[in-house]
Amino acid sequence: MNLNFIEIDNGMLLRRIDSKKAIWEETNSKWNLKDFSIREFEKDGLEKNVIISKNDSLVALKFEPYDIIKTASKSEEVSYSELKKQIISLEKNGVNTLRWKVDLNYKIAYSFISIIVIFCGIPLSVYRSNTTLAFGGGLSLATIFSYVILLKFGQSLAYGGVLSPILGAWMSNIVFISIGIYLMINARK
C-alpha cells in the first residue's frame, strides 16, 4: 500500500511521510516503510529536517490499519456513535468534517420518516374522504416522494455549506410537520 501521512497541529503542517510501500507489523505495532521520505517542518512552514531512504525502516505512527478502514467507511455504513467518534477523530487531525456532520444529523432526521408520513397522511385521508382509492394511493406516494426529494435537497444544501448541518438534515421534517399541522387544523371535524 502506498502511504502519504500528514501530521497537522492547529492548521500548521508539522510532518509529512511519503512511502511507496507501507506494511503494518502487528508484532511491533509499527509501520514498515520502504522507499520513503520524512519531512519535518517548523512552525513558520520551512523544512527543518528531511530523511530520504530506499531501505526498510520501522516507524511508529499515530494510526493503525483499523483506523484507515474506519475512516474509509461510508457514513451510511456506521452507527451514530461510531460516526460521532469518527468526526471527533477527523477534527483532531484538522479535517473539514462538514459532510460527516450532515450525515450524522441525517441519520436522526431520516428515522422520523414514518412519523412524518403518518402525520401528513391521516389528515389527507380525512380531508378528502370522497375520493377513490387510486387517488389516495397516488397522493400518499406523491407525499413520500416529495419528502424524500426535499430531504435530499436539504442534505445537498448542507453539503455545500449553504445551510447548517442540522437545518439541512431537518429541513424536510420541519416543512412536512408544518404541512401536517396545517392539514390537521383544517381537516373535517
Residue 134 grid cell:
387510486
Query: pLDDT, tens digit, for every residue of 65-74?
Result: 666 655 555 6
User: What average pLDDT does this structure show over 46-53?
Assistant: 82
Q: How many domains does the chain have?
A: 2
Query: pLDDT, tens digit, for every residue of 69-99?
Result: 555 556 666 788 888 888 887 777 667 788 8
What strand order describes the sheet that includes 47-59?
Answer: 3-9, 12-25, 30-41, 47-59
User: What average pLDDT does this structure show over 130-146?
Assistant: 74
Residues 15 and 91 in one domain: no
Residues 50 and 72 in one domain: no
State the chain's mean pLDDT as an integer: 79
pLDDT higher than threshold 60 for residue 189: no
Domain boundary among 15, 33, 62: 62
How far is 2 from 64, CA to CA, in rounded Å? 14
Provide the domain limits for residue 166.
Answer: 68-186
